[in-house]
């Protein structure tokens, strides 16, 4: 697994892909949070907290993570090297996890510079340093689990087509449906019980819960289960390809 992981990391940073992804993420977040006028602008918001950042970043990753993972297996299929995975001395699970952790690492590297926002917002308050650090790091914790789920979905999508663009579209669609789809669907129902039940099926409900600084084991189990489910589907799809 370590060899696959190292190969994935090298493939990102020996080409322009890794640097482009990191620059694109930081550029988009910076523009929407600090420059562009709109609902995400921190100066227009009027409060010294990072809630706008955590509202914005899932939507950025919803498209960015499928762009990272789209080549993971689709490129192997296109080049005809996917079959070589079956004759290597490592198992399919190790291969999938190696690619998963490689893509996850690149995304986390992109997130690390945003810790500067914590300091910046802390200094912008009327009283310096009055930022609720517990809520901020709870939000980062929830973001980590969201990234894991998006990455697993993107990997699964990359096994469905040898065309990277198709894999990207499928991955982005999966992430959108599971992040916001249930939230949107819930608005079609009038009863509170049905509304809440449907919302709980989506990722946004559980991410918002963690982002409030509430570490509920049900939210953690949801994200871990969703991540493992799509990793399992990835392994199954690769096995089916060999038949």
Residue 100's pLDDT is 95
**CA torsion sign, 150 to 117 to 9 to 169?**
positive
CA 163 to chain centre: 21
Residue 12's pLDDT is 83
pLDDT in tens, 184-193: 888 777 777 7
| Rounded mean pLDDT, 220-241 | 92
pLDDT higher than 60, residue 127? no
Dist. CA 151–CA 180, nearest whole Å:
16
Dist. CA 100–CA 9, nearest whole Å:
11
pTM, two decimal places: 0.90
Determine what percent of the chain is predicted with pLDDT higher than 90.
36
Dist. CA 122–CA 136, nearest whole Å:
11
CA dist list (Å): 124 to 6, 31, 38, 81, 139: 40, 18, 19, 53, 20
Give the Cα-Cα-Cα angle 118, 175, 186 (nearest 5 degrees): 95
- The set of residues, in sequence order, having a beta carbon less than 8 Å from that of 197 and lying 6+ positions away, is none
For every residue of 39-81, DSSP letters joined together read TT-HHHH-SSSSHHHHHHHHHHHHHHHHHHHTTTTHHHHHHT-
Dist. CA 224–CA 2, nearest whole Å:
22
């Amino acid at each position: 697994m370590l060899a696959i992981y190292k190969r994935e990391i090298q493939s990102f940073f020996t080409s322009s892909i890794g640097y482009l992804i990191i620059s694109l993420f930081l550029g988009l977040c910076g523009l929407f949070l600090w420059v562009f006028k709109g609902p995400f602008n921190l100066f227009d918001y009027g409060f010294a907290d990072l809630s706008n950042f955590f509202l914005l970043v899932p939507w950025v990753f919803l498209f960015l993570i499928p762009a990272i993972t789209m080549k993971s297996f689709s490129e192997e299929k296109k080049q005809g090297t996917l079959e070589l995975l079956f004759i290597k001395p490592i198992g399919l699970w190790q291969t999938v996890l190696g690619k998963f952790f490689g893509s996850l690492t690149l995304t986390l590297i992109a997130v690390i510079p945003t810790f500067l926002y914590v300091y910046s917002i802390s200094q912008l308050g009327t009283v310096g340093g009055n930022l609720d650090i517990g809520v901020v790091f709870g939000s980062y914790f929830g973001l980590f689990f969201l990234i894991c789920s998006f990455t697993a979905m993107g990997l699964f999508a990359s096994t469905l087509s040898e065309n990277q663009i198709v894999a990207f579209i499928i991955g982005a669609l999966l992430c959108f449906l599971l992040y916001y789809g249930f939230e949107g669907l819930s608005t079609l129902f009038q009863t509170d019980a049905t509304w809440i039940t449907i919302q709980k099926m989506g990722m946004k409900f559980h991410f918002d819960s963690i982002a409030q600084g509430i570490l509920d084991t049900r939210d953690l189990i949801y994200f871990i289960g969703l991540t493992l489910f799509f990793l399992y589907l990835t392994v199954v799809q690769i096995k089916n390809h060999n038949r």
